[in-house]
């Protein structure tokens, strides 16, 4: 493989995507350069994200992120025939403003670890060399969010409302339309994060694991 290995960690909110990608980055960076990106840096402006209503599940799924930029400024340049120049981010959703970031050159033989929700939607799925889908039951995700998101939302009541009316139904819409657990290279059950269970391990993964092995052991 003569381009950056593009890997995504997908799954519902609070499934453990960021933690998994961070852990992989620590391990793999001992052997090869790692590009660590998050979909949170590719939000659309709030006016676009909320145009269907602040609690709209469809708005969450369809309007939250700029997938055209992700494809054209990250995944294509890092893929076969690309020039390796990628955009590390574009928007600060908390400040609701563009960050003004510029493209940077990917190191040779790099591995991209890109985490976020909805990463296996039709617009993106064909660009991943390896995809990991993390499953967590809705009530498990909500229980984690009550702790993780308390500082962000200010109260458990607000968390409950946002998850039950926007985030969880938006994930249901995504699963019904994109069927991420059927197309991911690897599916992990993360209901117990200390004991993740492999639900599915696709045959194409063997080739990619071999590529990773070759890259991590062919160190000049």
In angstroms, rounded to a whole number, what is the distance separating the alpha carbons of residues 4 and 166? 34
Domain residue limits, the chain:
5-217
Counting as low any pLDDT under 50, the low residues of the chain are 213, 215-220
Token look-up 């993106």 returns 124
In angstroms, rounded to a whole number, what is the distance separating the alpha carbons of residues 108 and 84? 9
Token look-up 């955009």 returns 87
pLDDT digits (tens, 9 = 90+) for 85-141: 999 999 999 999 999 999 999 999 999 999 999 999 999 999 999 999 999 999 999
Q: So what's the pLDDT on residue 215?
A: 47
Helices within the chain (DSSP H only):
17-28, 46-49, 57-63, 67-70, 138-148, 150-153, 156-162, 168-178, 180-183, 204-217
Reported residue count of the chain is 220
Assigned architecture for domain 5-217 = 3-Layer(aba) Sandwich (3.40)
Q: So what's the pLDDT on residue 200?
A: 87
């Amino acid at each position: 493989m003569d381009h950056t290995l593009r890997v995504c960690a997908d799954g519902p909110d609070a499934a453990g995507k960021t933690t998994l990608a961070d852990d992989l980055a620590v391990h793999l960076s001992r052997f090869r350069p790692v590009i660590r990106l998050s979909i949170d840096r590719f939000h659309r402006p709030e006016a676009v994200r909320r145009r269907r209503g602040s609690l709209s599940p469809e708005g969450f799924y369809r309007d939250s992120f700029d997938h055209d930029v992700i494809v054209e400024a990250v995944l294509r340049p890092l893929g076969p025939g690309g020039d390796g120049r990628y955009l590390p981010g574009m928007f600060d959703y908390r400040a609701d403003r563009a960050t003004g970031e510029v493209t940077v050159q990917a190191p040779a033989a790099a591995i991209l670890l890109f985490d976020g929700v909805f990463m296996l939607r039709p617009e993106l799925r064909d660009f991943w060399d390896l995809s990991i889908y993390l499953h967590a039951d809705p009530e498990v995700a909500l229980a984690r969010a009550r702790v993780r998101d308390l500082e962000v939302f200010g109260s458990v009541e607000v968390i409950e409302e946002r998850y039950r009316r926007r985030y969880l139904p938006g994930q249901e819409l995504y699963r019904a339309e994109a069927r991420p657990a059927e197309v991911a290279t690897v599916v992990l059950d993360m209901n117990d994060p200390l004991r993740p269970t492999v639900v599915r391990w696709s045959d194409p993964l063997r080739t990619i694991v071999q590529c990773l092995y070759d890259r991590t052991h062919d160190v000049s």
